[in-house]
Amino acid sequence: MRASRITGRRVKRWLARAVLTVLGGSVLAFLVVPVFSVIPMSLSSSMVFELIPTAPGWSQYRRFFGSPEWMVALGRSVQVALGTTVVATTLGTLAALGLVRIRSRWRAVLEAALISSRIVPSIVFAVAAYFVFSQVGLVGRVAGLVVAHSVLAFPFVVVLVSSALHSFDRSLEEASQSLGAGPVRTFFRITFPQIRLAVFGGALFAFNVSFDEVVVTLFISGVHSKTLPVKVWDAILYEITPILPAISTLIIVASVLMLTPLLLYRRRS
């Protein structure tokens, strides 16, 4: 009698475990599988859109790399993303270095102000930037895109570098300065080597944020300086072409390549 109750409980527990695994596993699959299903579609060689390629091949990739129009957009995206990486990483690192020097409650206020561009809905910033940038001639210019993307990207650098600085022993800086090194020298010889992984991670984030940005770019890129995502947006709305799965795959691969060092870094820390 008692034994059977224990077995009953064991069966019940096993059942609960199985239900949980199936449920949790399906949600995780729902998160990953759809995105990556675009990869087989990209291998279609047909000129019309196919879901599952009948004759797999690289022809869509060839069309993408052979199209001057798409190449210009890709080049511009890389250019904007590199510019954003430089601006956002520099400003973000400076901000993080300044934040750790503040010990009062102002620090929380400043930190909130510095990451506030991630909280404001992108459409609000898009309209604001479009209006103000168009008055100073920054719409349709790479410089305008770099500036706007830097606003959106630099909170990532601030957060990553700040958390690296928390585990950094500030007395080393003081020691360096008391031995006669100036602040700049102290930064490059003492501080930077300690936080360079976080700075590098922040730079990767900044590049990725810029490379994928659509909403703000849609407004301020103008007719003549469309980035890759904006060209993709136009293509989705106005012509479903068989080239899109190939471009999507390339964008996914680029993001995964940039994410890999970040994940390795996360595991280390």
Partner 1 sequence: MRALARRNWSTLVLLGPPLVFLVVVFAFPLARVIWGSFFAPDFTLQFYERMWTVPVYGRVFWITLKISALTTLFCILLGYPAAYFLASVRPGTRQMLLLCVIVPFFLSVLVRNYVWMVLLQRTGLVNRLLLDWGVIAQPLELMYNELGVLVAMVNTLLPYMIFPVLSALLAVPPELRHASASLGAGAVRTFWRVTLPLSLPGVAAGGLLVFIVALGFFITPALLGGPKQMMISNLIEFSVRQVLNWPFAFALANTLLWGTLALYFVHVRLLEGRLSKAGLP
- The correct pick among 57, 75, 98, 137 for binding partner 1 (CB under 8 A) is 98
Window of 72-80, 164-172, 188-196, 242-250 that interacts with partner 1 by CB under 8 A: 242-250
Q: Residues 48 to 77: which contact partner 1 by CB under 8 A?
A: 51
Pick from 13, 62, 185, 189: which binds partner 1 (CB under 8 A)?
Answer: 13
* Contact between residue 225 and residue 141 where contact means Cβ atoms under 8 Å apart: yes
Binding to partner 1 (CB under 8 A): which residues in 189-228? 208, 212, 214-215, 218-219
Binding test (CB under 8 A) with partner 1, winner from 47, 56, 65, 101: 101
Nearer to partner 1, 60 or 208 (CB): 208
Q: How many residues bind partner 1 (CB under 8 A)?
A: 90
Min dist. Cβ of residue 50 to partner 1 (A): 10
Calpha distance 254→243 (Å, rounded): 17
223 Cβ contact partners less than 8 Å away, ≥ 6 residues apart? 140
Tell the smallest beta-carbon distance from residue 112 to partner 1 (Å).
6
Candidates 11, 112, 172, 264: give the one binding partner 1 (CB under 8 A).
Answer: 112
Shortest reach from residue 65's CB to partner 1, in Å: 18
- Cβ 45 vs Cβ 57: under 8 Å: yes
110-116 long-range contacts, CB within 8 A, separation 24+? 111/158, 111/162, 114/154, 114/155, 114/158, 115/155, 115/158, 115/159, 116/155
Footprint (CB under 8 A) of partner 1, residues 115-174: 115-133, 147-148, 150-151, 154-156, 158-160
Give the whole-angstrom CA distance, residue 264 versus residue 268: 6
User: Binding of partner 1 at residue 78 (CB under 8 A)?
Assistant: no
**Burial grade of 258 (CB within 10 A; 0-12, 13-18, 19 or more):** middle
Q: Do 57 and 43 contact (CB within 8 A), yes or no?
A: yes
